[in-house]
Amino acid sequence: MTTTKTTRPVLMLVAATAIALLAGNFVCSTAFGQTLTPLSGFGVNGWLAPGSNPYLSTGNNERGMGWNPVTNNLVVPSRNGGNFVAIINGTTGAVVKTLNTTGVAGGTLAIMGAGVSDDGEIYVPNLQSGSSTLSPFKVYKWTGENDTNGPTIAFSQVNPQTTNGAFRFGDSFAVYGSGTSLKFAAAGTSSGTTAGLPNNGNFMIGTLDGLNTNTIYNAIPNTLVASNDYRLALAFIDSDTIIGNQGTSAKFTDFVPATSMSGSGATITGSVALGAADRPLDYTVINGQALMAVVNTNSSLISIYDVTNPATATLLTTGSTVSGALSANGNATGGLQWGEMLSPTSQVLYAMSTNQGIQAMVFTAVPEPTTWGMLAAASLVGSAIRLRRKAA
């Protein structure tokens, strides 16, 4: 095989460039990073504003939501004029239907947020503070969006009595898994400062099979004494790890099987500093990158963090699609849900701050420069080989 004088310099240039790319020395002017853009077609510019349907109000009536992986719809409980569970199309924002809520009653508030199992079962908790036997903490169940019956009771328990202060559950709520792996996490505000009471952070992990099996993890080391680090947001990372938040600091927490009331068994393994009003959150993994999204309950600003290593968490991007003056969210409640995976590097995200509507955004992770370099290098090496063959 021979190489012409004209081809030889080209091959040398291609080879040198490929080597530089592979060595990580190639400088590219392309901007690398992440983007957060409105989901086209959802509401108006990716935003369902308050009042756009009867189930999004400004009266503190919508305090959480879930996303159904089977239908790609949102589940939005609302107390605006009654007790409703609205199913909202995750692509357009249109109201699909409401579920039958016959039998929903009791609690400090009858319904709060929502969670959906991997196979589409819908769970909605009430909010209950104190240990009244007439008003337990409940989780209602519908078998799916096509369930026309009133809900069954998947969980019901009177909160434990305390000598000072009170347990409260339902302000935050999350569901994990399906079938035999199905479980929920719940938490709320807390009061009381005596050892063994709901101070120093607390949350409940329970089953949703009607057996009411649960563990309340309380007095968790390295949590706040006067409040509860899990009260306004909960998200599962896996079957025995959650993230809790009430603003200022998201707590990554492992838990192990324990007795029904446990001052041990839960351990904080990482903490991510947040803004004081950054509260509802959710977790996902995109292309091997662990991500946590949070929404600000004052401004509805969404922030995305790389939490692959919580100790070195990095803010990747922020964005919002709301406009105009927003109604105040005095309870600092809401919901945030990662939704449909559009590609290996792109996923839909839904965010709600109470009284401020629902946003639908698309997060896209752009490959790092080293990734692009490897791809370009491979392409250039291929070009070099083709040139050599052509010249032979």
Segments making up each domain of the chain, as ranges: 7-29+368-392, 33-366
Residue 23 has pLDDT above 50, yes or no: no
Q: Domain 33-366: which topology?
A: Neuraminidase (2.120.10)
Residue 312 has pLDDT above 80, yes or no: yes
- Output the pTM of the full model: 0.86
Q: Tokens for 302? A: 């969404």
Q: What is the pLDDT, as a whole number, of residue 189? A: 79
Query: How far is the CA of 255 from the CAs of 155, 263, 311, in angstroms?
Result: 20, 11, 19
Residue 153 has pLDDT above 60, yes or no: yes
Tell me the one-letter amino acid at 284.
T
Residue 367 has pLDDT above 90, yes or no: no
pLDDT mean over 293-307: 98
pLDDT mean over 271-299: 98
Q: What is the pLDDT of residues 246-278, one digit of tens each?
A: 999 999 999 999 988 888 899 999 999 999 999
DSSP string, 87-131: EEETTT--EEEE---TT---SSBS----EE-TT--EEEE-BEES-
Residue 104 has pLDDT above 90, yes or no: yes
Nearest C-alpha neighbor of 363 from the set 90, 73, 38: 38
* Structural contact between residues 296 and 275, judged by C-beta atoms closer than 8 angstroms: yes
Q: What is the mean pLDDT of the chain?
A: 87
Lowest mean per-residue pLDDT among 43-57, 92-106, 361-375: 361-375
Percentage of the chain lying above the pLDDT 70 cut: 83
Q: What is the pLDDT of residues 227-248, one digit of tens each?
A: 899 999 999 999 999 999 999 9
CA–CA dist 259, 217 (Å, integer): 9
Tell me the one-letter amino acid at 141.
K
